[in-house]
Amino acid sequence: MSHPRSVAHIIPARPTIEGAGVHLKRAFGFHQVPVFDPFLMLDDFHSQNPDDYLPGFPWHPHRGIETVTYVLEGEVEHGDSLGNKGTIRPGQVQWMTAGSGIVHQEMPQGIKDRLWGLQLWVNLPRSHKMMPPRYRDVHADDIPLVEPAKGVAVKIIAGRMPGALGPVRDIVDEIEYLDVSLEPGVRFEHLPKKGQMAFAYVLKGEGAFDRPGKTIVGHENAVLFNEGDELDIKSGDKPLRFILLCGRPLREPVAWQGPIVMNTDEELDLAFREYRDGTFLRHSGDKRPMR
């Protein structure tokens, strides 16, 4: 007998400032560790005011995590210490594995109307904290779109649904990253893999995020689900769009300071000391396309 997943927590995204002065909304972060394990943070950056985003995220280091940037509107220029550079355009994803260390920058450019995007931080297990860094640029045309039911459209960034496999595959953890759009009054059912945690972040509209249909959640809220089997989500009288993330918890100690996440304070101290003395970058990295 299946056991539908109920809603454990609803967390409103809160305004914060990051980078060189970028105004964004944080769905969850440091204070929610470890309930979102293996995910560390989700930022929603969107604004029609250039002063909110043009300062960008100048050169900064990462170690011990993966950063996943999904641009919905506008453009973001990227450059890193591996020699990668380019522009993340609407519908594209940048999946960067910092591993042992990478230094990069992300700078919004050429915005006509507004900038809208998401950045997710995924923790790396102890066994892969110091792996060679790598960068993956996923074009919009490479992300499959499936329609499992009438009025349901799902973009598969990572993971699998009947008939399609997402382009982000050679990653450390088993992660599903879905961009789900529902027409009004439509139900979406999904079965995460056994042992995975799951959460949704509402981008547009509102809907019921449990089978009884009593937990109504609107945009700019993160929905953390309890353990169980299938997810049952239904849109209201307007279209609903949300991202759905599923992953297997690491259940490891987290030592986190700024852009670096390790397992112990000693490892954090070493990382910042190496960054100061110029020995932070240990590998040349992997520039192969992600397939």
DSSP 41-92: EEEEEEES-HHHHTT-EEEEEEBSEEEEEEEEESEEEEEETTS-EEEE-TT-
Which pLDDT score, from 0 to 100, does residue 110 have? Answer: 63
Burial 244-266 (b: 16+ CB within 10 A, else e): bbbbbbbeeebbbeebbbbbeee
**Using alpha carbons only, what angle is made at residue 252 by residues 221 and 25, rounded to the nearest 5 degrees?**
20
pTM of the model: 0.94
User: Domain holding 121: CATH number?
Assistant: 2.60.120.10
CA dist 289 to 84, 94, 103, 275, Å? 12, 11, 19, 28
Q: Is residue 196 part of a domain?
A: yes
d(CA 244, CA 96): 19
Contact 134, 285 (CB under 8 A): yes
Judge whether 284 lies within some domain. Answer: no
Q: Which DSSP string corresponds to 156-221? A: EEESEETTEE-SB-S-SS-EEEEEEEE-TT-EEEE-PPTT-EEEEEEEESEEE-STTS--EEESSE
Q: Is residue 73 part of a domain?
A: yes
User: Is residue 252, in this structure, part of any structural domain at all?
Assistant: no
pLDDT score, position 289: 40
Q: Is 277 among the domain residues? A: no
Alpha-carbon span 190 to 232, nearest angstrom: 7
Q: Order of strands, edge to edge, in the sheet holding 22-28? A: 14-18, 22-28, 39-47, 115-123, 65-73, 93-97, 134-138
The tens-digit pLDDT sequence of the chain (291 residues) is: 578 999 999 999 999 999 989 999 999 999 999 999 999 999 999 888 888 888 889 999 999 999 999 999 999 999 999 998 889 999 999 999 999 999 999 998 866 678 899 999 999 999 999 999 998 999 999 999 999 999 999 999 999 998 899 999 878 888 999 999 999 999 999 999 999 999 999 999 999 999 887 899 999 999 999 999 999 999 999 999 999 999 999 999 999 999 999 999 999 999 999 999 999 998 765 544 433
Helix (H) or strand (E) segment spanning residue 109: strand 102-109
Using an 8 Å Cβ cutoff, are 115 and 108 in contact?
Answer: yes
Q: Is residue 168 part of a domain?
A: yes
User: Given this model, what pLDDT does residue 284 score?
Assistant: 66
Q: Which domain holds residue 224?
A: 7-247
At 131, list the tokens.
């792996």
Asked if the structure places residue 255 within a domain, the reply is no
Task: Please tell me the predicted confidence (pLDDT) of residue 81.
Answer: 93
Work out how many domains the chain is built from and give that number: 1
Q: 66: exposed, middle or buried (C-beta count within 10 Å: 0-12, 13-18, 19+)? A: buried
SS3 at position 126: helix
